[in-house]
Amino acid sequence: MATAWVAGTPPAIEPVVLVPYDPRWPRMFDEQADAIREVLAGQRITIEHVGSTAVPGLAAKPIIDIDLIVADSADEATYVPHLERAGFRLVLREPFWHQHRMLTRTAPAVNLHVFGPNAPEHIRHLVFRDWLRTHPGDRDLYGTAKRDLAAKTADTPADYNLAKNPIIDEIYARAFDHAAQN
């Protein structure tokens, strides 16, 4: 994994800070999506608001997560220079994981995940987001788990994402079971 970080080392790990849902997050996503569409004009792309900031009522780290689907995420020359001119910075390259790339920006805080078409992780992001949007019980369960885990991993914030996996898997199981029955 260390070789995936473009700068050679992962960024400093910050404590996990969750904030209540902010109704400005969809507008912030829209602004970022418009900027991305502008710099990638002429390219066939899909842009989706994913992650906790995409779920009304869910507490989240105040970072807008965006999935950008391009023709070939491994072909960085077709999109990275354009995104860099728009203020994004390539920080992660994971050719071993669905050719995932991640770019970030700080004002506003954005994690831009780039995948190729039909990447399973992008589809998982959409399934999870849409399930939480339409199943408030699971949204609240996930929110409670996130708050508890943020407190439990305060001294080891890198463990936060891994600690969420059991509850995420539990929610995915319900979402996939529901999809299989319909």
**pLDDT for 119:** 95
List the 109-115 sheet strands across, edge first: 46-50, 64-69, 109-115, 100-106, 89-94
pLDDT band at 165 (very low <50, low <70, confident <90, very high): very high
Band the pLDDT of 14: cuts 50, 70, 90.
Answer: confident
**Amino acid found at 13:** I
Q: What is the pLDDT of residues 44-70, one digit of tens each?
A: 999 999 999 999 999 999 999 999 999
